[in-house]
Amino acid sequence: MNAEDERMKRYHSCYCAWVRGAIKNGTEKEISPNFCYCSIGFTKKYWDIIFDQPIKIELIESPLSGALECKYAIHIPKEFLK
C-alpha cells in the first residue's frame, strides 16, 4: 500500500491473479465487474457452512471496480440476528 500509483495500490490489494494481471497491464476495463463473483463463491462456501444453510453475498466494490479492497455484503440469516 506504499505504492504512489493508485493502479498499483489496487494491483497489490487484490488476491485474484487474473484481476491483478489485468490491473498491472492496464486491461482491467476489459473484464466485467461480475468476474469478482468468482471470489464471492469461495467466501460464500465458508459462510454456508458456518450458518448451515445457503446465504446471500453481494459484491459492493473491488479493485476491478476501482476500489482499493474487496467489500462484500454478507446477509446473515434472521435467526442468527436475535
Q: CB count, 10 Å around CB of 19?
A: 22
Residue 1 has pLDDT above 70, yes or no: no
Q: What is the pLDDT of residues 23-73, one digit of tens each?
A: 999 999 899 888 888 888 888 999 999 999 999 999 999 998 889 888 999
Strand ranges, E, within the chain = 56-61, 71-75
Q: Which residues sit opposite 72 in a β-bridge?
A: 59
Predicted TM-score (pTM) of this structure = 0.75
Given a contact cutoff of 8 angstroms between Cβ atoms, the answer to whether 58 and 72 are in contact is yes
Q: Which residues sit opposite 75 in a β-bridge?
A: 56
Dihedral of alpha carbons 8, 14, 19, 21, sign? positive
